[in-house]
Chain A
Amino acid sequence: MKPLATLAGMLLLALLLVGCAARQQAQAPQPGPPAGQAPARPPVARAPAGAPPAMAAPNPAGGGPLDSEEAILADLASEPQAMTTPAVADPLEPINRGIFRFNDVVYIHVLDPAARGYKKVVPPEVRQGLKNFLDNLMFPLRMVSSTLQGKFERAGQETARFILNSTLGIGGMGDAALDLFQIPAPPQEDLGQVLGAWGLGHGFYVVLPVMGPSSLRDGLGWLGGSYLDPVWYLPVDFWEAAGIKSLDWFHRYSFVEGEYVDLVAGAVDPYVAVRDIYLQYRARALRE
Chain B
Amino acid sequence: MPMARRIACLLALAVLLNAGAARAAEQPQAVLQAYIDKFVSVLHDPSLAGPAKKAMQSERLWQVIQGGFDFQGIAIVAVGANWRRFSPAEKDEFTQYFAQLLRNNYLKKIQENYRQQQVRILSQEIYDGKKALIKSSIGHPNGDIPVDYRLWLREGRWQIYDVTVEGVSLVQNYRTQFNDFLLKGTPAGLVQRVKEMVAREQG
A is bound by B: yes
Q: Which chain A residues have a beta carbon within 8 Å of chain B's beta carbons? A: 1-2, 5-6, 8-10, 12-13, 16-17, 20, 23-24, 27-32, 36-37, 39-43, 49, 54-56, 59, 64-67, 69, 72-73, 76-77, 83-85, 184-185, 255, 262, 265-269, 272-273, 275-277, 280-281, 283-285, 287
The answer to the question of B154 belonging to the interface, with a C-beta cut-off of 8 Å to chain A, is yes
Which A residues lie within 8 Å of B109 (CB)? 262
**A31-B155, A66-B130, A268-B177 in contact; A37/B1 too (CB < 8 A)?**
no
Task: Indicate if the CB atoms of B95 and A83 lie closer than 8 Å.
Answer: no
Task: Indicate if the CB atoms of B26 and A268 lie closer than 8 Å.
Answer: no
Measured in the bound complex, the distance between the Cα atoms of B101 and A32 in whole Å is 27
A228 to chain B, nearest CB (A): 23
Q: Which of B22, B83, B142, B194 contacts A24 (CB 8 A)?
A: B22
A284 to chain B, nearest CB (A): 3
Nearest opposing residue in chain B for A68, CB measure: B154
Task: Indicate if the CB atoms of B7 and A40 lie closer than 8 Å.
Answer: no
Task: Indicate if the CB atoms of A5 and B152 lie closer than 8 Å.
Answer: no
Q: Which of A9, A17, A23, A42 contacts B88 (CB 8 A)?
A: A42
Which B residues lie within 8 Å of A8 (CB)? 5
Task: Indicate if the CB atoms of A77 and B81 lie closer than 8 Å.
Answer: yes
Task: Indicate if the CB atoms of A85 and B19 lie closer than 8 Å.
Answer: no
Number of A-B contacts (CB under 8 A): 156
The answer to the question of B193 belonging to the interface, with a C-beta cut-off of 8 Å to chain A, is yes
Measured in the bound complex, the distance between the Cα atoms of B190 and A272 in whole Å is 15
**A12-B8, A73-B83, A280-B169 in contact; A85/B153 too (CB < 8 A)?**
no
Task: Indicate if the CB atoms of B92 and A39 lie closer than 8 Å.
Answer: yes
Measured in the bound complex, the distance between the Cα atoms of B96 and A45 in whole Å is 21
Measured in the bound complex, the distance between the Cα atoms of B91 and A273 in whole Å is 22
Task: Indicate if the CB atoms of A39 and B95 lie closer than 8 Å.
Answer: yes
The answer to the question of B80 belonging to the interface, with a C-beta cut-off of 8 Å to chain A, is yes
Task: Indicate if the CB atoms of A20 and B180 lie closer than 8 Å.
Answer: no
Q: Which of A24, A31, A32, A69 contacts B19 (CB 8 A)?
A: A24
Which A residues lie within 8 Å of B8 (CB)? 9-10, 12-13
Task: Indicate if the CB atoms of B168 and A83 lie closer than 8 Å.
Answer: no
Nearest opposing residue in chain B for A27, CB measure: B23
Measured in the bound complex, the distance between the Cα atoms of B68 and A5 in whole Å is 50
Which B residues lie within 8 Å of A266 (CB)? 101-102, 104-106, 197
Measured in the bound complex, the distance between the Cα atoms of B27 and A28 in whole Å is 11
Nearest opposing residue in chain A for B6, CB measure: A9
Q: Which of B11, B72, B77, B176 contacts A37 (CB 8 A)?
A: B72
Q: Which chain B residues have a beta carbon within 8 Å of chain A's beta carbons? A: 1, 4-5, 7-8, 11-12, 15-16, 19, 22-23, 26, 66, 70-73, 76-77, 80-81, 83-84, 88, 91-92, 95-96, 101-102, 104-106, 109, 127-131, 142-143, 152-157, 162, 166-169, 171-178, 180-181, 190, 193-194, 197
Chain A to chain B: the 8 pairs with minimum beta-carbon distance, closest first: A284-B167, A266-B105, A9-B8, A16-B12, A31-B156, A276-B176, A39-B92, A9-B4
Which A residues lie within 8 Å of B127 (CB)? 54
Task: Indicate if the CB atoms of A269 and B23 lie closer than 8 Å.
Answer: no
Which B residues lie within 8 Å of A16 (CB)? 12, 15-16
Which A residues lie within 8 Å of B167 (CB)? 280-281, 283-285, 287
A273 to chain B, nearest CB (A): 6
Nearest opposing residue in chain A for B156, CB measure: A31
Q: Would you list 21 pairs from A and B whose C-beta atoms are within 8 A, ordered by A residue? A: A10-B8, A12-B5, A13-B8, A23-B19, A30-B156, A37-B71, A37-B72, A39-B92, A39-B96, A42-B88, A54-B128, A59-B130, A64-B154, A65-B130, A66-B73, A66-B130, A72-B73, A83-B169, A276-B172, A277-B173, A285-B167
Measured in the bound complex, the distance between the Cα atoms of B129 and A280 in whole Å is 27
**A37-B71, A72-B77 in contact; A276/B1 too (CB < 8 A)?**
no
A100 to chain B, nearest CB (A): 14
